[in-house]
A and B are shown apart, each in its own frame.
Chain A
Amino acid sequence: MNQLLRHRELQLFSEMKSDNKGSFNYFFDYYYSGLCIYASQYTGDLSTSEEVVQDVFVRFWEKRQSIEIENSVRFYLFRTVHNQCMNLLKHKKIENNYRQQNTFEADNLSEDQWSLFNESELRHILAQAISKLPERCREIFELSRFENLKNKEIAEKLRITEKTVENQITKALNILRKELKDFLPLFMMYLS
């Protein structure tokens, strides 16, 4: 992650230590959804993950005076959620059911890979790539991927043939491959 953000976050954390709830809100807003997705790799379900992450944030606020973070707040949050998940799994003895090969530990993530667990960063990466698509192509791709419509439904909605929808999605995928070529290898091992 970028150095500027890292420093800014350390600053925000020290403001939080002097009881600034606004700084706490920032951390919550920026990291909550990503931490939940991260936790669900261990717990296997989203509602348990949400509980874990909420617990972590409650303690993050309550224990703010005694928490020491020297390097990175983001790292601290992911590390804590990770540990919390491990405790939970040990407790429930379901560890082996869900610890898949491709779950990974926060320590091993490179700068860009962090974005996989951050809603706004991931949105930014995808939006940049998608913005390179021709307009019609983008519209069809978004309907397919984000509105979850079937090709047939898209064809009906836009009054075009299914063949055209298929061609446009193929075209979109090819352009996106080029646009995302720097990220794809990084993300490869972390997505199943």
Chain B
Amino acid sequence: MNEYPSIEKLTGYLNGELTIEETKEIKAWFNQSEEGRKELEHLEIIWSLSDRLRQMEKINKQNAKRKVDSRTGSPKKSWKIFLQSFQKVAAILILPVLLFSAYLYFGKATEGTTEQEFFATYGTRTTLVLPDGSKVWLNSGSKLRYGKGFNHGNRTVFLTGEAFFDVTANKSRPFDVVTGPFTVRAVGTEFNVFSYENNEFETSLEEGVTQIYQSDPNGHDKQIIMMKPGQRAVFDEKQEELVLSEGDVSRYSTWREGRLTFKNAPMNEVIMKLERWFNVDVELKDPGLLQYRYTAVFEHETIQQAMEMLRFSSPIEYKIIPGEKQQDNALSRSKVVIDIQQ
């Protein structure tokens, strides 16, 4: 019994699969010295730690969460399933539109293009394909424009609002997205740009590399940042600088799949995005509400459902005032009035 037990015996012991006799042998071997006794103890602990982790991982947390939710009065989600199948149908319907626009722009590109402008009205989102094959998802209330020269030299588009770009790779012809304060330059990448107002700028990079240039009044653009995948840059208006952060950036572009995502987002951001998303005006009765932060994902919800969800997670009351017919017969925007719960 002088040889170290075979690992087979040892794992058998740790798994409790040995006979009493074999178990005794293993114990006796390690108990020959204090050091040995400790070693066996440590092995047992390592073994049970990994067992325990496996046990915890096996517990079906989602299932449990559903049970708890059904008992704590979370909204029923059954309509969501219906809408998910609707989403698939919608995707099939969108495809011909995509192909048609590709045909349209490729066709035009060869003839020397004129200036093109695209607008996604409030409450809608649009997908388009540029002459070079790059895909653009345009979020509600956003405008994208490109000039005649798009197919010659640099590929330049001008953006007001929010868009996600999937750029066709072409090293010799950089792809520039020009916004008020900055220009984002890419070669072949997937990235999101957000700049509705002149001093507003956000970009997040999912794949590849982008460079950010500051637009100089004299027309000399200067590169300030080179971004890596997983990074997000936000312009801090007060400090007048771009702030880089890292993490899961995919949530910043969930809007193009029809999802509106808030992760610990301040109330003012939530309001601004809800207004554009649902094409409504939001009025905040109590400024005290601005201190709240929200985490939520909206997918296919109507404004009523979205407000119900917000009401569920924070002490608010809301009222929706439908839009009215104006003189020209057009409907004015609906209005949502949010107040603190009494």
Using a CB–CB cutoff of 8 Å, the interface residues on chain A facing chain B are 18-22, 24-25, 28-29, 32-34, 36-37, 46, 50, 53-54, 57-58, 61-62, 116, 119, 122-123, 125-126, 144-146, 148, 151, 162, 166-167, 169-170, 173, 176-177, 180, 184, 187-188, 191-192
Contacts and interface: CB of A to CB of B under 8 A. Distances in A.
Contact of B313 (A22, A53, A119): A22
| Complex A-B, nearest 5 residue pairs according to Cβ-Cβ distance, in ascending order | A166-B7, A33-B56, A119-B56, A191-B48, A145-B50
B246 interface: no
Interface of B: 6-8, 10-11, 39, 41-50, 52-57, 59, 61, 64-65, 67-68, 71-72, 74, 294-296, 312-315
B42 A184 contact: yes
Q: Which of A28, A46, A187, A191 has the most CB of B within 10 A?
A: A191
B314 A19 contact: yes
A50 B68 CA distance: 11
7 contacts: A18-B315, A20-B313, A22-B295, A37-B55, A53-B64, A122-B52, A145-B54
A33 B7 contact: no
Contacts of A187: 45, 49
Contacts of B312: 19, 21
Nearest to B47: A145
B53 A122 contact: yes
B57 A119 contact: yes
A117 to B, nearest CB: 9
B244 to A, nearest CB: 23
A37 B314 contact: no
Given A177-B39, A188-B45, A54 B68 contact: yes
A168 to B, nearest CB: 9
A32 B58 CA distance: 12
Given A33-B56, A36-B59, A151-B7, A58 B315 contact: no
A169 B67 contact: no
A54 B64 contact: yes
Q: Is the interface of B mostly helix, strand, loop or mixed?
A: helix
A173 B43 contact: yes
A34 B56 CA distance: 7
A3 B205 CA distance: 34
B127 to A, nearest CB: 31
Contacts of A169: 7, 11
A148 B67 CA distance: 30
A67 B146 CA distance: 59
A140 B116 CA distance: 59
Contacts of A116: 49, 52
Given A18-B315, A146-B54, A62 B72 contact: yes
Nearest to A169: B7
Contacts of A192: 48
A20 B295 CA distance: 10
A176 B45 CA distance: 11
Q: Which of B11, B45, B47, B294 has the most CB of A within 10 A?
A: B45
B43 A126 contact: no
Q: Which of B49, B54, B57, B314 has the most CB of A within 10 A?
A: B49
A64 B44 CA distance: 41
